[in-house]
Structure 1
Amino acid sequence: MLSRVAPWLASRNENGLGVRVLGGADTLALRALANEDAVANVFILAHLESTGTAAPTSGGASVFGVFDGDTLLGACWAGANLVPVQLEPGLAGYVANAAHQTGRRYASIFGPAETVLALYSRFEQLGHLAHEVRADQPLLSISGGPAIGANPDLSFGSMADFDRILPACAAMFEEEVGYSPFLGGQEFYSKRVAGLIRQGHSLVHIDAQGTVIFKAELGAVTRDVTQVQGVWMNPELRGRGQSAGYMAAVVNLSRTFAPVTSLYVNDYNTKARATYERVGFEQVGTFATVLF
């Protein structure tokens, strides 16, 4: 499938298409582009809400824009990961070439499936081989409250529970991607988890014995949409039908930030998909993730 992606449109480049890093003056254009699909583009919209600018960050992340003259046709976040924004698959080669030329290593590409696979097709030609390609990840959302009752034990995490929440987050990460988030050191991942807790984006149930029963995070938050990530049930309690009630509680808590709750899930995770459907989530698109 990846080998059938069209050539990288060098002829169109001669007709005025080009790529450049966006600056502050491009902020309104990027926001308008991303708002064409606020659910699919919640990652970049959350970034724009928090920083107020499309300009490169102090940490070195930037946004590539594909232009026809002065018109922004599509974009792609380039930080630790590549995240396309309303980028047509036929334009993906422009971004892949630009990202490759920076010399940076990217942990993943994620977003709308056709564009992610087109980006990876070009990356593969440039010598960047994936550890894993997850080509079919239903993008789900729910507007309003859940269809079933919520578990009242779920609440926002606090820094007092950081030492309990961090191991649960690390266990979820290793289970999901196949390696520990602490490889190369614990500091970066620990700061990420602590930041989510401080922002009120960590959702957790810790029982009286101090055991994490269930947890999830709001990985991206805007005034319109939240995106749930890191859903994890304690392995000792799986298979008892409790996940749906916790996910209903996730929806209720996320609605304190925005009216629409979203997430994406691997197509082969039939149990999780059934749970989300029971809660009231509906598919609104298809994502893909390439892990390097």
Structure 2
Amino acid sequence: MSCRGWSSDAYWAARACRELERRGHAVTLGCKRGTDARVIDRAREQGVTRIDTFELAGGMRPIPDSADLIALARVLREVDLVHVHRGKEHWLAVAAGYLAGARRPPVVRTRHIAQAVRPHAGNRWLYRHATALVVTVTEAIRQQYLASGLLPMKGHQVVVDALARLAAQGCAPHVVFVGRGGHEAAVLTAIRRAGLERHVSVAGFASDLPAVMAALDIALYVPLESDGMSRVLFEYLAAGRPLVAARTGVVPEVLVDGVHALLVPAGDAGALADALARLLQDGALRARLGDAART
């Protein structure tokens, strides 16, 4: 795993390792060197017992990549299967397999997001000829993979637009965005342009997500496109938070509108504003959805 932090794909990789170990297989989880507190310790908490580390440097880095290829080739001569979750380790595992010679194990790739695979010759070869199996965590991602769909977006602008509509109607809930990323500056700019600085907080990274979720009156999950088998969606449900979710990705596969959550079309700020207003005005509905979320 080339993850620098405890992302959804890191979580599912650790869960898969634990389950395979439970079934009697010898499994080693490969992690990025230097991520002890952020990834490795969390994987051990999940029950993973065997962990090896590699450089897994970002981008194309000849020196660390060469060291990883040599180290991986030694490992691959001793294993029966390689399971990768991101592009960096996918390419490294395939290349190291050729260095391993006749003992080259098959490579399985799990795709956790619906971002289209770039359709250049290298990727066509990688997926069609060098990969034994491609696993997608939802049917929506499988369709995106087959059809080369769009890059998923988190939907912050839709939330800002919906909140602006509510504020114009005299309804002013407070929204908190939790997390960090490359779009933070754009989100802050959108908030300022809408005049919503008093109604929106950008909280940054939070390590204690259960505490954050316990403080919420309503949870929002509104990506514009499929966000994979989103861990945060299921954490909202487990926390018993009344939820408004975009009807995309795994959402319509696991949630029923009006039973487990209020579902809205992805990217529809008006529908999101209406759903929020409905929940804000109906405490009994919030309680019912929160209770149903856990079932």
Greater CA radius of gyration, 1 or 2?
Answer: 2
Q: Give me the TM-score of the superposition, normalised by structure 2.
A: 0.27
The structure, 1 or 2, with the larger RCO (C-alpha pairs under 8 Å, 6+ apart) is 1
TM-score by length of 1: 0.27
